[in-house]
Structure 1
Amino acid sequence: MILYFSGTGNSKYIAKKIQFALGDEIVDLNAKIKSNDHSQIEVKDRLVFVTPTYGWRMPRIVSDFVEKTPFSGEKRAWFVLDCGGEIGNAQKYIVKLCEDKGFEYMGVKGIIMPENYIALFNAPDEEHAKQIIKKAEPSIKEAIETIDKGECFAKPRCNLYDRIMSSLVNDWFFKHIVKADKFTVSDKCIGCGKCAKLCPLNNIVLDNNKPVWGKNCTHCMACICHCPREAIEYGKKSVGKPRYHID
C-alpha cells in the first residue's frame, strides 16, 4: 500500500510511479486528513509512505495522522521523502514513529525534486523543473527496485549539520515560520475556490468569494502554487517568483 501526502504534486508524482511499477493500492492522505478520517487501514502487502520534507523531517501533518490512525496487517514500512535539497536527520523521527506504531522500519530515501517552498525559497521555472524531475527518475527507479526486492534502503547521511537541522531548526521553523498570517489575495482572484478545496487542513474559507486563512496551516504551498490566476502572495517573499506544481 502506497500512502502519499502532496502539496504541489512532487510526492504524488513519485507515488504514482511506484504504484504503476508495483501495482500496489494507493491512498491519498490529503483526502483522509482533510476529512479527518482515522478509520483503520488494512495493509495487505507493504507500507510505502511518500511525502515531502518539511524542515528536514517528514511533515508533522503526516506523522500526526499516522500516530492517530490504526493499521493492521503487514508491518514493513518504507519511507520516500522528496526534498529541494536534503532530508537531514529525518530518519531519527521516522524510526521513533515506526516504534510507536509497531512498523518494521525498512529505511528512508531522499529524492531531490523541484523546490516549491516559495515562502522562503525560489521555485524553478517550468523548463528547469522538468530537468530536475528527469534527474530524479533514476532515484525513483532505485527506490522501486529496493522496495520490490523487499530490501532496506541504504542508510542516509547523518552528520552534525543534519541533526541540528532536523531538531533545533525544525522546531524554530514550525514555531516562527509556519503560519498563514502573511497570505494575501489580490483583485486577480476569480473566486474559484480551488485554494479552499486543496487545503488539507480546511484552513481556507471563502468570504465574498475571496479566500480567508485561519491559523491552522502546514505551509504545503498548495493554495499559492495552484492558484490559476496567481492571485495569492505570501507577504513580499513570493512576489515575482514562479509558482510550481505538477499534475
Structure 2
Amino acid sequence: MLGIYFSGTGNTKYCIESFVKELDAKAKCMSIEDSKVLHEIEKSDFIVLAYPIYFSNLPKIMGDFILKNRTKFNNKKIFIIATMGLFSGDGAGCSARLLKKCGAKIVGGLHLKMPDCVGDVQALKKSKEENIKIVQEAIIKIKNSVESLKGGKPTEEGLNILCHLGGLFGQRLWFYNKTKEYTNKVKINENKCITCGKCIELCPMKNLYECDGKIKSKSTCTMCYRCLSNCPKEAITILGKQVHEQCKIENYI
C-alpha cells in the first residue's frame, strides 16, 4: 500500500498520513513532488490518493500528474481522499473519473472538512479554536472510514451521480475558469518583500523566481497558497488584496 498526495498548507498531508497510519502503520506516504513517487506507485497495488479541492475541482497540478502518468495507474486499486474548506459535492469524483480512464479501480472516497487555506479572502475564516475542532472532527471521521474499509465496506463519498451534480452546479460551473488553467494572479508587494527566497523554494510549480533583486511570478500558479502561508512578511497575495491569515496545519494541531 502507498499513500500519495498533493498538499499546499499541510491539511491534506496531515489527513492522508493519519489515514494511512490507521490502515497500515508500515505504509509510506509521499508527495507527488517526490522524485521517487512514480517508482513507488509501480510497486504498489493499493494506493490512497489525496488532494485539496479548489472551487469544487482538482488542483491543476494533481490533474496533470494523473494524466501525465496515466499508465502508472492501470490496474491499481485506489481510495481517494479530498480535503476542503466547506463543500465540494464530488471532490473525490473529480480524480475518480480521470483514474477510471487510466484503467484504475476506485474502491472508495472520503471527504474531509479542514481549515480554509485561502488566506487572502475573509470568507470561511474561523477562529483558531474552531479550526482545532474541525481538525479533531476530521480525525474521528478518518478513523471511522478506515474501520469501514477494513470491514469491506469503504466509504464512497463524492463518487455517485448525485455528488457529481452537486459539485457541478454547486460551484464548478460558476468557477470553472479559476481552475481550468494555471493562474498568473500571484502578486508580490515589493514594499514588504525582503527577497528571502522562501517562496521560491516552496513553490511546487517553480512559478516564482528572483530577477534584479525582486521576486517575480510567471503564469503557472496552482493556487496551493504555500507561498502566501509561509512568507515571513506577508508580502504575497493571490485572489485577494491582503493577507487575513497564514493558514498552516501546524496552527491547529
2:8 alignment counterpart: 7
**Offset at residue 198 of structure 1 (A):** 1.2
**Cα-to-partner distance string for 1:80-123 (whole Å, 9 max, x where unaligned):** 00101112233543332122111111122110000011344354
2:111 alignment counterpart: 110
**Cα-to-partner distance string for 1:21-74 (whole Å, 9 max, x where unaligned):** 222121111345xx9x86683243411011101121222311210121132686
1:78 alignment counterpart: 79
Give structure 2 stretches of 5+ with no counterpart: none
Give structure 1 stretches of 5+ with no counterpart: none
* Mapping for residues 1-247 of structure 1, pairs under 5 Å: 1-21=2-22, 22-23=24-25, 24-32=27-35, 41-69=41-69, 70-71=71-72, 75-120=76-121, 121-156=123-158, 158=163, 160-165=165-170, 167-174=172-179, 179-234=183-238, 237-247=240-250
Q: Counterpart of 1:244 in structure 2: which amino acid?
A: C
Q: Counterpart of 2:173 in structure 1: which amino acid?
A: L
**Cα-to-partner distance string for 1:179-202 (whole Å, 9 max, x where unaligned):** 333512243333221111111111
Q: Counterpart of 2:6 in structure 1: which amino acid?
A: F
Cα root mean square deviation, aligned = 2.8
* 1:186–1:232 Cα contact (<8 Å) kept: no
CA distance in 2, matches of 1:246, 1:211: 26
* 2:85–2:124 Cα contact (<8 Å) kept: no
**Offset at residue 152 of structure 1 (A):** 2.7
**Offset at residue 163 of structure 1 (A):** 2.6
The count of aligned residue pairs is: 242
* 1:4–1:12 Cα contact (<8 Å) kept: yes
TM-score, with length taken from structure 1: 0.84
CA distance in 1, matches of 2:163, 2:60: 20
**Offset at residue 238 of structure 1 (A):** 4.4
Q: Counterpart of 2:67 in structure 1: which amino acid?
A: E
Identity of aligned residues (%): 25
Change (3 A) 1:65 1:225: same
